[in-house]
Structure formats: structure tokens, C-alpha cells
């Protein structure tokens, strides 16, 4: 079937039936850890997994049937999933991993687009983790994971619909006023946020990740921790001169109860004058 003609439900079925590829560096790091299987522990494995949003969701999707059968409390972070499987069974299950770089070898522009989103997700998860620690959040791992997976649908579409995703990027480059959601609907017939919502439900991803689709949770500090981390990573992805950043800074200061000088120091930025963007 032509990907551009697939319904959103068809995409959920397709993505649920296909093996999600992972980053080559993830596969290499896990292969190295496997050689030390006698000494490696679940925390080290989960640290490797949490560098790659695709690997993280693959682990969570794999654990879902076990979770359903045992009627266990929701698995809301990767370390718990690894501990539930056990280190040796984990390595057996994820021994032969499909690689993003192989899948997209004939689509170099899509690979670059996907890597850009991965790096942005990594930054968002790092911000979310640091702020959750500062706030003494009760479930730091879930906050970190939710930031890492916030743009999961976009990542998956770069992998499984590289030509259409590249088309969206080209449309936005040609028209800087074209919003992503509008371009997505024009090309696919649906917004990635709607696809993400359906995937979160189908794969029983952490409840905090579903909060982005429920306005009732949008003022909750844990959700704000995730959303502001994602916003900061997105708005600073091309540099620190994005006009949306001052509003981001103000909201983060309120969340963390710190002043501008302290925030800029924590972000590794030079102090700047009022209204001036921080230096790169």
C-alpha cells in the first residue's frame, strides 16, 4: 500500500507489527555490554537504552504482554522493564537488532532528519531529568522517559515513511509559516500527535506520556517538567536566538523557583542583558 494513502489506524497496525529499528551506536553499546554479561547490571543496560528513544519504546512495547498477563502495576521506566525481564533474558531477546542506518541507507536526507529528532529528544530528556532531580520529583525516571518519547510518532515516520517525511520538511523550508501539523495532514491525512495518542494507548506507554493529550493535566508540575524540557530542546535546536525562548525561560524559572541568572548558569549559557538572546 502507498504510505500516503494509509489511514491512521493502518499506520498503528503497521508500526505495531514491525520491529522498530535502533541506532547503530545503541546496538554497539549493547554488544559491548553483552561481552561483560557476568558483571553488567540492569542500571547499566537501562542507561544504554535511554540514550535511544527507539530502543526505549521497543523495550516498553516488548514488556507490555508480560505486564498485561501478570496484571502488574504500570511499568513506567526502562530500568523496571529490564529488571522484570532479567539481564540475560534481555540480551537474548534483543540480540539481533535492526538498525536505523541500514533501513535509511537509501534515504540520506531522512536519516539526517531522524538523527536531528533523536538528538533533540536526548536533550529534552536530559533537561527533564535535571529539573526533576532539582524538584525532588517522586518518579524521575518516568519524567525523563516521557520527555525522550514525546515526539515518538515523528521519529517512527522518519523511519517508516522517509519520502513523505522528507516532503514535509521540504514544504516547511519552502514556506516558513507552514505549521508542522498542517503539513502532516496535507501529506498523510492526519497529525502525528493523533498517531502518537493512538500508539501510546495501543502500546500502553506510561500515563505521563498520555498527559500531553489531556488538558486537565497540563498545569501539573510533572507534566510541565516534561513539556518545558521538550519546548526548550525544540526552540534551541538551531541556536539560542529563537523568539520563543524568553517565554520558555520564564516558565522554567517559575517551575524551578529560580531566577534568570541561575537558570542561564544551569543551562551553561552566559549571562545576557534583558531582551538579548544568550550566546551559543
Query: 128-176, pLDDT tens digit by residue?
Result: 999 999 999 988 999 999 999 999 999 999 999 999 999 999 999 999 8
Confidence of residue 109 (pLDDT cuts 50, 70, 90): very high
Q: How confident is the model at residue 215, as a pLDDT?
A: 86
Using CA atoms, how far apart are residues 221 and 203, in angstroms rounded to an integer? 25
Using CA atoms, how far apart are residues 221 and 237, in angstroms rounded to an integer? 24
Angle between helices 221-235 and 245-256 (to 10 degrees): 150
Q: How confident is the model at residue 4, as a pLDDT?
A: 63
Summary mean pLDDT of the chain:
89
Domains of the chain by start residue, with CATH: 3-100 (1.10.3210.10)
Work out the angle at residue 184's Cα, subtended by the Cα atoms of residues 179 and 190, and round it to the nearest 5 degrees.
Answer: 125
Using CA atoms, how far apart are residues 46 and 190, in angstroms rounded to an integer? 33
Query: 35-92, pLDDT tens digit by residue?
Result: 999 999 989 999 999 999 999 999 988 887 665 555 455 667 888 888 888 999 999 9
Amino acid at each position: 500500500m502507498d504510505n500516503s494513502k494509509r489511514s491512521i489506524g493502518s499506520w498503528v497496525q503497521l508500526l505495531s507489527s514491525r520491529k522498530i529499528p535502533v541506532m547503530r551506536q545503541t546496538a554497539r553499546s549493547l554488544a559491548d555490554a553483552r561481552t561483560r554479561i557476568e558483571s553488567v547490571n540492569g542500571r547499566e543496560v537501562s542507561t544504554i537504552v535511554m540514550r535511544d528513544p527507539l530502543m526505549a519504546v521497543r523495550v516498553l512495547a516488548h514488556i507490555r504482554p508480560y505486564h498485561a498477563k501478570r496484571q502488574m502495576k504500570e511499568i513506567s521506566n526502562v530500568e523496571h522493564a529490564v529488571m522484570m525481564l532479567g539481564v540475560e533474558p534481555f540480551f537474548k531477546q534483543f540480540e539481533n537488532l535492526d538498525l536505523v542506518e541500514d533501513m535509511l541507507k537509501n534515504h540520506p536526507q531522512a536519516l539526517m532528519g531522524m538523527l536531528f529528532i533523536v538528538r533533540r529528544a536526548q536533550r529534552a530528556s536530559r533537561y527533564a531529568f535535571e529539573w526533576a532531580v532539582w524538584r525532588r520529583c517522586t518518579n524521575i525516571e518516568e519524567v525523563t522517559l516521557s520527555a525522550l518519547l514525546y515526539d515518538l510518532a515523528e521519529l517512527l515516520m522518519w523511519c517508516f515513511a522517509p519520502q513523505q517525511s522528507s516532503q514535509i520538511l521540504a514544504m516547511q523550508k519552502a514556506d516558513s509559516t507552514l505549521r508542522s501539523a498542517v503539513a502532516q495532514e496535507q501529506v498523510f491525512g492526519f497529525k502525528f500527535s493523533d498517531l502518537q495518542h493512538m500508539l501510546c494507548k495501543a502500546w500502553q506507554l506510561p500515563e505521563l506520556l498520555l498527559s500531553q493529550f489531556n488538558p486537565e493535566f497540563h498545569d501539573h508540575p510533572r507534566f510541565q517538567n516534561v513539556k518545558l524540557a521538550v519546548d526548550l530542546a525544540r526552540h534551541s535546536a538551531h541556536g539560542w536566538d529563537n523568539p520563543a525562548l524568553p517565554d520558555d525561560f520564564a516558565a522554567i524559572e517559575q517551575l524551578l523557583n529560580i531566577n534568570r541568572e541561575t537558570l542561564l548558569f544551569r543551562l551553561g549559557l552566559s549571562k545576557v542583558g534583558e531582551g538579548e538572546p544568550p550566546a551559543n
